Chain A
Amino acid sequence: MYTMKSLAALLSLLAPALAPAATVVEFDADHAALVYHKAASQHLDLRAAARTLQAYQFAPNFDKPEVLERLLGELEAEFEQVDPAQEFRIEITRDQVKEYDHERGEFSVGMFEQGSYVPFSAFGQHYMMVMANAEGSRAIRMPREEARALDETLRATGRQVRTEIHFRIIGSGDPAGAVQARRGSNQHVVRAEVLAARLLEPRSGRPLHTLAVVPVGQEPAATAAPARPAIPPLSAANAEIGGLRVGVPAATLKQLLESVYGPVQQRSAPQDTDPRIVAQLELDPLACRGLPGRQNHAGTVCVTALVDKDDVVRAIKVERLFPRIEFEALRTALVARYGATVSGEPGELAWGPVVEPRLLVRRPGEHALTATVIPVRSGTAGSAAQLHNVQLVLADAAWANGGR
């Protein structure tokens, strides 16, 4: 991690290389949020924003009204003064460059692949910043002979890089549609334009490669490249989790589970679920929960399924206990399977359309497919072990939203 001082020093060294003319400031979440709301003409409740500030939250209750008015005044003045064309510099500290694609003759930079975004929070709001012209910077195209040297450098860093980006905020929403805010939430998709970008060696900060930049509006002609095979979007035909699907007869699911895992219990539907659900199938759900004094075992698989009156599975949850998990590894595996995520809560991955009824999920309005990791403390206090419950939940969105 860098201190602000060292970042400022670094910025002063880098600024001439990347932004000779405009005034570029170091990325700051609050500043970027204000610029976004101004540049994109998106309303921000400044009074509510002021209430999220520490100066208000830590003030004695007696003083809060006065502190709030003072902070509100400051915020209003800042919002008035903020320059919607402000340019920022940011470093993405854990970016990755993929293996050289010999067919396409290119490396691909993770930050600029479709579905990637930079998350930040300010004033009690969550922002997902996508680069509208990311595709222009995504590929490092070079001949095989030239690529070998860069590949050797990347192998030495485990393919990790720091990606330095100069950008400005230009509006709202992901033009590719891959990153979406949850409806009715405090999430915002910030649209930004890359002005300059380069890869840095992760430890030393030594420049490795300056990336191409194609200004917004000039992308199609400049970035024409052979199409890559697409991962099909989530659909009834390919939506499955842990090999299990919705839309199948309950008897078929039960037969499979009992053939390979163990006994399945059938219960009446949970009270708080969609009224069209009449039954629930369960394969040992407690075995995946961390209960006091209970010994859980890595490798355990638990399944819960909701069944409608026609005995068809309409929602399913598959859990598996892993001894250790890196969230990024889970993300990589699932994105390779299902394609780019839509937005989810922090620590959650999500795909597909929003499902309005409550089906095996914490609340209505979840996406059709979600993935979360829940830590499970197994055993007694003296011999507790940490396991990780990877939980995949899939709902039949067409049925749920279609009212059949």
Chain B
Amino acid sequence: MSTRTGTRGLACGLAVLAAALAGCGEGGRTAGQAAPAASEAPPKAEAPRSGSGEIWAIDPQAGRDAASAAAALTAFAWGMQVVVIDGDSVYFGLKRAAARPGAGGARSVRLSDSLEATLTPAGEHVTLAFSNGQEVAMQRRRAPHVRGR
């Protein structure tokens, strides 16, 4: 049949690649089955107070190598492309997490049952390290000036 359809059939046959998605839960629960339930209350949204805390953002150049690219993507997936460190609290997106202190000024927050993020000062930077072994540098960012705020 490839002969009849010319290169199209051949290309399809050879281009077959596994979607090879990472594992998800067992027991028949899938992302596609559960519509967000109207009665299910989302967690409380907590934005950091304006001008409070230090703002750190993923190094814009992170991603030029595969290792930092993977870490930057993980950070983006969990809303940690920008974090605000305010005392013992770490804000990322609309979440506030109580950070667990560690050695060298490190602060750890749990993202899920299997993933934890640790922010560790490293000179002028902060290193964002995930418990899956990925890590990426973060840079300090000045609070934006918004007129009339």
CB pair B47–A116 under 8 Å, yes or no, is no
Stretch in A142-150, A193-201, A333-341 touching the partner: A333-341
- Hey, which chain A residues are within 8 Å of B64, CB to CB? 323-324
Are B30 and A2 in contact, CB atoms less than 8 angstroms apart? Answer: no
Cβ contact within 8 Å between B94 and A243: yes
* Pairwise interchain contact B30-A94, C-beta atoms closer than 8 A: no
Residues of chain A lying within 8 A (CB to CB) of residue B21: 110, 113-116, 331, 335, 340-341
- Number of B interface residues at 8 Å Cβ cutoff, please give it: 83
Interface size class of A (residues with CB under 8 A): 35 or more
Contact of A248 among B36, B45, B143 (CB under 8 A): B45
* B37 near A398: Cβ-Cβ < 8 Å: yes
| A11 CB-CB contact with B under 8 Å | no
Q: Is the CB of A227 within 8 A of B73?
A: no
The smallest C-beta distance from B8 to any residue of chain A, in angstroms, reads 6
A229-268 residues with Cβ-Cβ distance < 8 A to B are 229-237, 239-245, 247-249, 252-253, 255-256, 258-263
| Pair A256/B94 contact, Cβ less than 8 Å | yes
Within the complex, the shortest CB–CB distance from A389 to chain B, in Å, comes to 12
B124 CB to nearest A CB, Å: 17
Say yes or no for A74: interface residue by CB 8 A criterion.
yes
Which of A207-215, A273-281, A285-293, A296-304 sits within the interface? A296-304
Minimum Cβ distance to chain B for residue A96 (Å)? 6
Given contacts A120-B12, A242-B81, contact A368 B36 (CB under 8 A): yes
Give A127's nearest chain B residue, CB to CB.
B12
Cβ 8 A contact of A92, one of B18, B38, B49: B18
Residues of B within 8 A of A29 (CB): 9, 12-13, 16
Max count, chain B CB within 10 A of own CB: residue among A29, A234, A249, A396:
A29
A120 to B11, CA, bound (A): 10
Given A92-B16, A333-B76, also A243-B47 (CB < 8 A): no
Interface string of B34-76 (1 = CB under 8 A from A): 1111101111010111110001011111111010011011101
B72, A177: Cβ atoms under 8 Å?
Answer: no
Set of chain B residues within 8 Å of A339, measured between Cβ atoms: 24-25, 29-31
A43 at the interface (CB under 8 A from B): no
A163 at the interface (CB under 8 A from B): yes
Give a binary string over A304-346; 1 marks a CB under 8 Å from any B CB, 0 the rest.
0000000000000000101111101111111111111110000
Residues of B within 8 A of A (CB): 1-2, 4-6, 8-10, 12-38, 40-43, 45, 47-51, 55, 57-64, 66, 69-70, 72-74, 76-82, 84, 92-95, 112-115, 132, 141, 143-144, 146-147, 149
For this complex, 18 residue pairs linking A to B, each with C-beta atoms less than 8 Å apart, are A30-B12, A110-B22, A111-B18, A113-B22, A180-B32, A229-B25, A233-B29, A233-B33, A234-B36, A236-B37, A259-B50, A259-B84, A260-B82, A263-B146, A320-B81, A333-B76, A336-B74, A390-B76
